[in-house]
Structure 1
Amino acid sequence: MKMKIEKSFKTLDFPKVINQLSKHAVSELGKEKIHALSPSSDYIEVKDKQEETEDGVRILRMKGGIPLSPFIDIRPHLKRANIGAALNGKEVAQIGKVIKSVREIDQFFVKLKEDEIELKQLYIISDQFVALRPLERAIFTVVDEGGYVLDDASTALRGIRTGIKQTESRVRQKLESIVRGSQAKFLTDAIITMRNDRYVIPVKQENRTTFGGVVHDQSSTGQTLFIEPQSVVDLNNRLKQYQSEERSEIERILAEVTNVIMPHTAEIDQNMTVLVLLDFINAKAKYAQEIKGIKPLISENNAVSFMRARHPLLEESEVVANDIILGEEYQTMIITGPNTGGKTVALKTLGLLQLMAQSGLQIPVAEQSVMGIFSSVFADIGDEQSIEQSLSTFSSHMTNIVEILNKIDDQSLVLLDELGAGTDPQEGAALAIALLDAIAAKGSYALITSHYPELKAYGYNRPQTINASMEFDVETLSPTYKLLIGIPGRSNAFEIAKRLGLNDMVIESARQLMSGESQSVDEMIQDLENKRKQASQETVKVREELQNAQALHRELKNAFKEYEAEKEQLKKKAEKEANQIIEKAQKDTEKIIEDLRARQLQGAQGSAVKEHEFIEAQTRLSNLKLEEESLKKNKILQKQKRKKELKPGDFVQVESLGQKGTIVEKSGNKQWVVQMGMLKMKLNESDLTPAQQEKEPSYNRTSLKSTSMGSVSTEIDLRGERVEAALNQLDQYIDQAILSNYPQVTVIHGMGTGAVRKAVQDYLKKHPQVKSYNDAPANQGGNGATIVLFK
């Protein structure tokens, strides 16, 4: 429900805000929508409009705003297309540009969704766009963005324009031969020009018969004739014919394109509506940035709390921010005190910010400020004397107030400046009190300013009413423009007079002439001011501490976010490096297994695998395993272990081979001969680490052939295992089966959820030694087992 009180809008300078807002729109349609903007008294509508603006502000902050290019109103073109009129090239191009702009903005919102930027309203709005990419292509294959019909729009048009270029070239060649040749002396100037769309040359009057042809024009003096020589008449005629054919072909092409556009006019019109709305929202966001506005919270019971509120039409450096609170503990505020203290500005600030907020605009207040939802805002501010009706200032104000009293309800906000002014002070004060009672009886919310001291007592005694004043600095004899809620304004005349040098006796005499009641009220106000200043100082200190705490909290939140992001990046990097290591290890493992299998085949022909070859293969496999504990790589600890002097007979770990052995003897400087089973090797002392004595294993000369096929089962049962454990077991089992030279094996994984079966088959698919795999026959487990064939 829209609020329609144009007189109050003007009084509160709402039209000026609209004018500033409209400067940020890129289209005339956007400006029209802004000028039609008015406050709403519907909670849901206000909430949605505020969320639209907040979405626009978020996009402006993160992406620089919605990428809107200036566009014109193409709805008249659509109407003409609907009634069967052919559009011209410029109109077709303008429609094409709107369709293109819609596509680009739609893609922009798709990217915002991909970036997971949260918006409350604009995704819903952008989803109303209708994609018309084929129509866009159809338009721009016929015209360019300036509306020029392209040569490739049709084969016929290309041929006609080729003919025009060739004919023009021949005409110019013939005329060039005249203006550059011996006949140039008959011309007033050596140029070729156009008259009546035909090529002509300027010939002297006395030589008019030299070239023959047709005279098309003459100079103002009559000394020069613009003649189309007979030699080019036929060519010019042919050129005119081509140009006529070109116009006809262009008209045909554009009529054809118009027919293509016509079925989509409703969709294009809908896209225009959305485009204008986005222009409007983008303008609101830019204006919010300009005035440093924020999205206020919304109170459904009109508990207004504008903290550090500023008038948006005043420069930030020139205005004092004030806290304006109304509607929760009190519905009426009476601001008293002298003129030029800022009372009227405070009054206008409340009214204007409320109108702006109910229009969906952000307002220049502190975070967590709260707006109300009023059914109407009435204002009687300043000297609105009507010269035409010859009314006095008092009469003019009374006329407005009477009209206001007839319209207000319990959801109205009433703003009255200098209530009761312009008449006898005693009568004016009584009238002001009576009007306030009438407004309170209607249940309306009111903020008024007044000079009358009688209203101070009214504000103190009446329920849901509070006094306020604008602070005045007696030291500097100037107002501070600070609104003091709860403290009525007091006279500073004696203090000012004293500072300006008035005799103390005169001042004291004046004090005695004042009533005792007035003096006690002033003393009470002074005491209240002193207490307020003390409380204000404490509030400032607490606010600073709160701001510091909030800043620290924000920094910690940002640091935590950065930490989480860095942790995720490191995790991904580690996973990538781990995958690379695993991949390399798998390749190395496959190579070692291939070597062993080759040696195994040789062993079958009588050449057994030597002991040292077997140890070396084991060592190479061991070295592929990454150390799990960083202490194993700690060179300082290893050095500590080697501090004990080695001697023959010591049991040691050979680090490079991953094997243990016994020192036989010393060989050279820091070199030792080590016995590892049947193998003796000369090794550097740095490669040896003292180890615990173990029972020496007995090594037998054997070949891999001695590993009987019966020592490794031809099947493995993975039922009941988790996927990761199952794959680890399968990996080890496949390696053993390959070393055992099995042609095929059976992997029993069961059916269950199918997760283990899928993981097993994915593993087999990638294994380089697996030739093929299939589900087992029905009598051997069916889908619950997989038969694996090796290469």
Structure 2
Amino acid sequence: MNTKILKTLEYDAVKNKLTPFITTAGGALELEKLQPTTNSDEMQTWLAETTDAMQVIRLAGGMTIPQLANINPHMQRLMIDADLNATELAQVGRVLYTTNQLKNFFDNFILDKDEALIALKPYIERLLTLPQVNQRLNEAIDTDGRITDEASPELHRIRQQIKGTEAAIRQKMQDYTRGKSAQYLSEPIVTIRNERYVVPVKAEYRSKFGGVIHDQSQTGQTLYIEPADVVDMNNRLRESQLKERHEEARILQELSALLRPEAQIILENAVVLGHLDFVNAKARYAVTIRAIAPEYSPNNVVRLLQARHPLLDPQLVVPNDIVIGEEYSAIIITGPNTGGKTITLKTLGLLQIMAQSGLFIPVAEYSTVGIFEEIFADIGDEQSIQQSLSTFSSHMVNIVSILEHLNDRSLVLFDELGAGTDPQEGAALAMSILDAVGAAGAYTIATTHYPELKVYGYNRVDTINASMHFDLETLRPTYQLLIGVPGQSNALEISKRLGLNPEIIQEARELVKKDSQELNAMIQDLVLRRDEVMTQQKLLDTQINDNRQLKLNYETKLEKLDQERAKLIEKAKQDANQMVSQSRQTADKIIKDLRQRQLAGDVVKENELITAKSALNALKQAPSADNNRILRRAKAAKSVKFEVGDTVLVREYGQQGTIVRALKDGKFEVQMGILKMIVAAPEIEKQNIQNQPKQASRHPKHTGVTTARANNRAQASATLDLRGERYEPAMAKLDRFIDSALLNNLPSVEIIHGKGTGAIREGVLSYLRSHRSVANYQFTGPDQGATYAELK
């Protein structure tokens, strides 16, 4: 991946967000070296590792890894037979201790939580504990890098001796600072000079103490004297201190020799701990930005649902759906300045790069990413005074370089393509550049103000218009991305609302070309229609939630009834079996009597006895769950295999749709007309439609994308027969029928109501008259017993 795009999209700023969660030198090194991969298997492995780390956070609060220094230089010194000092040994000891603690943590976690942690398991298995070495280091070196008294018996004895000698010296020196001799001192204190205890004596009283003079003050009026009475004790103390140093050196040599054979293992443990620390940091960062693991699309479909820029305040940023590579490979975004076009470009590019780095991204569930060998961007003003390049020239230099290096595994982001020059030439150049990118098979998203590119986006194959919504009521952008709707020019409308003279505005309207006015009118109509659809979608979502709750309550009650019924059936069978058992006992007694009669000379046929007993045995019923309707329904659902392109019935709405995408957890994305929704397998029923052609994707190099519109229209009925129905059920059927026709884009329908009393006929007319989607209606048929309605 080129370094320019990483700088443009602020990739390092995202990496810096992980720094507070890193605690080891190895983890910091991995973070520093992190770059997006272009290998799909490697990306999926990285994401799987982060997923395992997220699972550890969810179930156990995460891994606890302390601050660990870089021990690589220490191990290198050991390998050349050098000895380590106490601080270095303490750092190595922390690595060994952490290895032991983390190994035990994972063993218990996998056992207690029944989690395999498949992605992290290879690293966990690479951790090798050295219990004896770890114990020896812990008892000899404390965490601050100090050799403990327990490092050896000899060191303990020497330090005890030092403590006793120092106590005796302090006691003797106190006699000088508190007794009669205190009057000869500059200050009644004990201090140290040349590692020996001394007292500050006034120069004129030097003969009062004898001993050795070790130092004097700058004025010469104070002499630091070691009194003769403590010289011998100071000598013993000095001797003990030298023995302590020799013993400490011996211990350090011993511990270094103990570590030397295990240097490579310890170094490997440090590397693994660094990687686990890095993975843990990725997971903790994902928690802070509410990110999830995206799914990988082998067809390179980028579907970012409710995507948010990770560096913006999540409370303020507006999430958007950004989809490319499914039905189109180029998006032309138009709209006002400061409307969010550039941040949309950066959001797409940065989230894709984060995913290729194994980082979770702030999107909604079922989002997918692809793999790009290169991501190019021409964003911002890159004017260079030193190179004598204008803004336009600098952009062209960058674009020339992009066109030379892109291929069909590239993503290109253009901000204000063709800007900085004559609008007519700029627009023509922008369209040519987009054609060149499309010919290479690369994906592209471009922002522009040129109206010519709106027509380009409408006419070109695999290209779609988009815009950033602008609220004319508040005169502010909403930062909402509208796919399929080009942006409209709001300059005249904004000027009008801000109070500009109406005559000036009218004159400006007349100067604007007629085709531009028609284009803006078309866009405005599209926006209004889109707002209507969104309003209906919200109402539909509310109804869906209500229906799901009702369905849940119904299924809960039904399941409870089935359980009670099953219990009653089992109880009845047990009672019946008990009765059969009693009957069998009675029959056995009868048969026994018959046999006795036979022995006594009476003629009784054996086959008659066997037949009678078999008939009694047949009365017994084995307990069974065949009558459990819920189990039968679940069994039937499991036996059905759903595939992309299958036509299914969504039970909850009674509508047919087509499966356009298989999701995880047994869920599917189903398209019903212009609507798409996610449903679980038990909520849909496969339809047996003979010779049903499956539609191909608009983009020839991507497969698995279908639309339900043509299929549903083929299956939707255009005629409704209400004859013989009562009024209320007839009106309910009519409402469902019209909704189904609208969902399937039927141009017209026929409602057969007959003449009869005229109640249903009048109800149909009243319904059609008030329905906003009915364009026209009229009676039909020889007896006017039907009504023909044209739909909008």
| TM-score normalised by L of structure 2 | 0.68
**Partner of 1:394 in structure 2?**
392
**Mapped partners of 1:369, 1:507: distance in 2:** 45
Kept in 2, the 8 Å contact 1:66–1:282? The answer is yes
Q: 2:27 aligns with which of 16, 19, 30?
A: 30
**Partner of 2:513 in structure 1?**
515
**Mapped partners of 1:264, 1:79: distance in 2:** 12
Residues 549 and 223 of structure 1: is their aligned pair in 2 closer, same or farther, counting only changes over 3 Å? Answer: farther
Q: 2:459 aligns with which of 458, 461, 466?
A: 461
**Mapped partners of 2:512, 2:322: distance in 1:** 33
Q: Deviations over 1:451-510 (max 9, x none)?
A: 111101111111100110111111111111111111111111222222223343433333
Q: 1:117 aligns with which of 112, 115, 134?
A: 115
Residue 194 of structure 1 and its aligned partner are, at CA, apart by 0.7
Residue 16 of structure 1 and its aligned partner are, at CA, apart by 0.7
2:51 is the alignment partner of 1:45: no
Residue 289 of structure 1 and its aligned partner are, at CA, apart by 0.7
More displaced stretch, 111-120 vs 367-376: 111-120
Kept in 1, the 8 Å contact 2:469–2:481? The answer is yes
Residues 341 and 545 of structure 1: is their aligned pair in 2 closer, same or farther, counting only changes over 3 Å? Answer: same
**Mapped partners of 1:442, 1:130: distance in 2:** 51
2:24 is the alignment partner of 1:6: no
Residue 296 of structure 1 and its aligned partner are, at CA, apart by 0.8
**Partner of 2:482 in structure 1?**
484
| 1:605-624 superposed matches below 5 A | none
Residue 225 of structure 2 aligns to a residue in which SS? strand
**Partner of 1:362 in structure 2?**
360
Kept in 2, the 8 Å contact 1:22–1:35? The answer is no
Kept in 2, the 8 Å contact 1:200–1:228? The answer is yes
Q: 2:184 aligns with which of 186, 197, 209?
A: 186
Residue 544 of structure 1 and its aligned partner are, at CA, apart by 5.0
Residue 316 of structure 1 aligns to a residue in which SS? coil
Kept in 2, the 8 Å contact 1:168–1:239? The answer is yes
**Partner of 1:18 in structure 2?**
15
**Mapped partners of 1:94, 1:551: distance in 2:** 58
Letter in 2 for 1:113: I
2:118 is the alignment partner of 1:87: no
**Mapped partners of 1:77, 1:555: distance in 2:** 66
2:196 is the alignment partner of 1:195: no
Residues 341 and 372 of structure 1: is their aligned pair in 2 closer, same or farther, counting only changes over 3 Å? Answer: same
**Mapped partners of 1:550, 1:140: distance in 2:** 61
Letter in 2 for 1:106: K
Letter in 1 for 2:107: V
| 1:416-435 superposed matches below 5 A | 416-435=414-433
2:75 is the alignment partner of 1:78: yes
Residues 556 and 362 of structure 1: is their aligned pair in 2 closer, same or farther, counting only changes over 3 Å? Answer: farther
Residues 524 and 249 of structure 1: is their aligned pair in 2 closer, same or farther, counting only changes over 3 Å? Answer: same
**Partner of 2:604 in structure 1?**
none
Residue 87 of structure 1 aligns to a residue in which SS? coil
**Partner of 1:338 in structure 2?**
336
**Mapped partners of 2:267, 2:65: distance in 1:** 17
Q: Deviations over 1:72-100 (max 9, x none)?
A: 11111111111111111121121111111
Residue 342 of structure 1 and its aligned partner are, at CA, apart by 0.7
Letter in 2 for 1:137: Q
**Mapped partners of 1:187, 1:394: distance in 2:** 86
| 1:124-135 superposed matches below 5 A | 124-135=122-133
Kept in 2, the 8 Å contact 1:109–1:123? The answer is no
**Partner of 2:351 in structure 1?**
353
**Partner of 1:410 in structure 2?**
408
Letter in 1 for 2:94: K
Residues 239 and 75 of structure 1: is their aligned pair in 2 closer, same or farther, counting only changes over 3 Å? Answer: same
Ranges in structure 1 where 5+ consecutive residues have no aligned partner: 560-627, 630-791
**Mapped partners of 1:539, 1:223: distance in 2:** 96
**Mapped partners of 1:382, 1:558: distance in 2:** 58
User: Which is greater in Rg?
Assistant: 1
**Partner of 2:300 in structure 1?**
302
**Mapped partners of 1:36, 1:43: distance in 2:** 19
Residues 149 and 448 of structure 1: is their aligned pair in 2 closer, same or farther, counting only changes over 3 Å? Answer: same
**Partner of 1:566 in structure 2?**
none
**Mapped partners of 1:321, 1:178: distance in 2:** 80
Kept in 1, the 8 Å contact 2:26–2:271? The answer is no
Q: 1:64 aligns with which of 61, 64, 67?
A: 61
Residues 265 and 372 of structure 1: is their aligned pair in 2 closer, same or farther, counting only changes over 3 Å? Answer: same
Q: 2:284 aligns with which of 283, 286, 300?
A: 286
Q: Deviations over 1:602-632 (max 9, x none)?
A: xxxxxxxxxxxxxxxxxxxxxxxxxx99xxx
| 1:583-594 superposed matches below 5 A | none
Letter in 1 for 2:165: T
- Would you say how many aligned residue pairs link Structure 1 and Structure 2? 559
**Mapped partners of 2:320, 2:244: distance in 1:** 71
**Mapped partners of 1:479, 1:374: distance in 2:** 32
Residues 546 and 409 of structure 1: is their aligned pair in 2 closer, same or farther, counting only changes over 3 Å? Answer: farther
Kept in 2, the 8 Å contact 1:19–1:35? The answer is no
**Partner of 1:727 in structure 2?**
none
Residues 331 and 558 of structure 1: is their aligned pair in 2 closer, same or farther, counting only changes over 3 Å? Answer: farther
Q: Deviations over 1:137-165 (max 9, x none)?
A: 12123222222222232222222222212
Residues 25 and 297 of structure 1: is their aligned pair in 2 closer, same or farther, counting only changes over 3 Å? Answer: same
**Partner of 2:375 in structure 1?**
377
**Mapped partners of 2:218, 2:550: distance in 1:** 84
| TM-score normalised by L of structure 1 | 0.68
**Partner of 2:252 in structure 1?**
254
Q: Percent identity?
A: 50
**Mapped partners of 1:192, 1:548: distance in 2:** 86
Residue 556 of structure 1 and its aligned partner are, at CA, apart by 12
**Partner of 2:526 in structure 1?**
528
Kept in 2, the 8 Å contact 1:141–1:153? The answer is yes
Residue 326 of structure 1 and its aligned partner are, at CA, apart by 0.6
| 1:675-714 superposed matches below 5 A | none
Q: Deviations over 1:359-389 (max 9, x none)?
A: 1111111111111111111111111222332
Residues 193 and 327 of structure 1: is their aligned pair in 2 closer, same or farther, counting only changes over 3 Å? Answer: same
Residue 541 of structure 1 and its aligned partner are, at CA, apart by 3.7
**Mapped partners of 2:512, 2:331: distance in 1:** 27
Letter in 1 for 2:427: A
**Partner of 1:539 in structure 2?**
537
Residue 209 of structure 1 aligns to a residue in which SS? helix
**Partner of 1:160 in structure 2?**
158
What is the Cα-based RMSD across aligned positions, in Å? 2.3
Residue 122 of structure 1 and its aligned partner are, at CA, apart by 1.8
Residue 140 of structure 2 aligns to a residue in which SS? coil
Residue 334 of structure 1 aligns to a residue in which SS? strand
Residue 480 of structure 1 aligns to a residue in which SS? strand
**Mapped partners of 1:354, 1:34: distance in 2:** 18
Residues 191 and 426 of structure 1: is their aligned pair in 2 closer, same or farther, counting only changes over 3 Å? Answer: same
**Mapped partners of 1:148, 1:398: distance in 2:** 64
Residues 70 and 251 of structure 1: is their aligned pair in 2 closer, same or farther, counting only changes over 3 Å? Answer: same
Residue 257 of structure 1 and its aligned partner are, at CA, apart by 0.9
More displaced stretch, 122-131 vs 327-336: 122-131
Letter in 2 for 1:208: R
**Partner of 1:97 in structure 2?**
94
Residues 434 and 248 of structure 1: is their aligned pair in 2 closer, same or farther, counting only changes over 3 Å? Answer: same
Residues 556 and 374 of structure 1: is their aligned pair in 2 closer, same or farther, counting only changes over 3 Å? Answer: farther
Residue 382 of structure 1 aligns to a residue in which SS? coil
2:264 is the alignment partner of 1:266: yes
Runs of at least 4 residues off by over 6 Å? 547-559
**Mapped partners of 1:201, 1:523: distance in 2:** 100
Q: Deviations over 1:631-663 (max 9, x none)?
A: xxxxxxxxxxxxxxxxxxxxxxxxxxxxxxxxx
**Mapped partners of 2:308, 2:140: distance in 1:** 54
Letter in 2 for 1:20: K
**Partner of 1:660 in structure 2?**
none
Residue 197 of structure 2 aligns to a residue in which SS? strand
**Mapped partners of 2:156, 2:389: distance in 1:** 77
**Partner of 1:673 in structure 2?**
none
Q: Deviations over 1:568-598 (max 9, x none)?
A: xxxxxxxxxxxxxxxxxxxxxxxxxxxxxxx
